[in-house]
Amino acid sequence: MMARRVGRMSPFNITALALGMAFLYLPIVILVIYSFNASRLVTVWGGWSLRWYHEFLNDRAMLDAAWMSLRVAAVSATIATLLGTLAAVGLVRGERFRGRTLFSGMLYAPLVMPEVISGLSLLLLFVALNAERGFWTVTIAHTTLTMCFVTVVVQSRLASLDRSLEEAAMDLGCDPVQAFVRVTLPLILPAIAAGWMLAFTLSLDDVVIASFTTGPGSATLPIRIYSEVRLGVKPEINAICTMVIALIAVLIVIASLASKLSGARGESAAPL
């Protein structure tokens, strides 16, 4: 099946595909290969080695930053998923309240807002509140950044869900809350999981907002890498980046599988 499809592609298509993929992934492939470089010089190949991975695992400051990043990502993704799901339910299932369009527009603003502006405004807020900057300020900042992404994912799933499923649940003895918990929630769960993973990776990636809202002694991994690179690229950075890429790739694959699964399962039972 696959082979036949490839065989039918024209030379032009193959070239375009190869160039596109190369453009996207060549830098990453080079980075991954060089992370296994035995040489101390980043640009000189000195044979295969796991030396830099070993180096990283003994680098206390880097490990702290990585741990910080994972914690921020996990907590902010969880809060963002809760709030984002509630917002999606309110927007799709709620009565048509006044200012609904404005509300949904405002919810999506962070999607298009330059991160520098979000970061700066959050910094001003935390300063005004006299909040001590550190783990919680970064986490709150990341929650505001990622919540809208969760809302988008969950909202599209909810909108495609047949409304009569909830009505059937109520008809069969569920009050509205039970109908949501027993029928709607299981059906949108894959979308919620996908939203969480998206929020997690976004938080893990972020440099700009984190650098505005973090405090002394609580640098996230991207900030740490960024400041190290300014002093010169060490091969250890390649190893760290490869591990981050692997983690994110795994999460993205799981998220897309989850949303595909949810799409295949939740459709209305009858051919309409």
Partner 1 sequence: MSGQSPEVDTAKINTAVAQATPTAPADDTPLLRVEGVSKKFGDFRAVDRLSLDIKAGEFFALLGPSGCGKTTLLRMLAGFETPDEGRILLGGRDIAPVLPHERPVNMMFQNYALFPHLSVRDNIAFGLKRAGMARAAIDTRVGEMVALVKLDGLEKRRPDQLSGGQKQRVALARSLARRPKVLLLDEPLAALDKKLRESTQLELMELQRRLGMTFIVVTHDQEEAMTMANRIGVMDAGRLEQVASPRDLYEAPASRWVAQFVGDVNLFDGEVSSREHHQLTIATRDGGAIMVAEPHDPVGETVVSVAIRPEKVKLLRRGPELDAGNAQAINQLEGVVTDVSYLGGSTVYKVKLDSGAVVRSSIANTARLDIDTLSAGQRVIAWFAPDDCVVLER
Which chain residues interact with partner 1 by CB under 8 A? 162, 164-165, 167-175, 178, 182-183, 186-187, 265-272
Minimum gap (Å) between residue 263 Cβ and partner 1: 11
Query: Of 27 and 176, which has the nearer Cβ to partner 1?
Result: 176
Which residue, among 159, 139, 150, has the nearest Cα to 194 in the 3D structure? Answer: 150
Q: Please, which residue, 35 or 184, has the CB nearer to partner 1?
A: 184
173's torsion region: left (phi>0), alpha (psi -120 to 50) or beta? Answer: left
CA distance 266 to 269: 8
Distance CA 102, CA 262 (A): 29
For residue 165, the minimal CB distance to partner 1 (Å) is 5
Q: How far is the CB of 185 from partner 1 (least distance, A)?
A: 10
State whether residue 48 is helix, strand or coil. Answer: strand
Structural tokens at position 163: 């409304």
3-state secondary structure of 237: helix
φ/ψ of residue 244, rounded to 5? -65, -45
Between 141 and 192, CB nearer to partner 1: 192
Cα separation of 150 and 198, whole Å? 7
Quote the tokens at residue 53. Answer: 């991975």
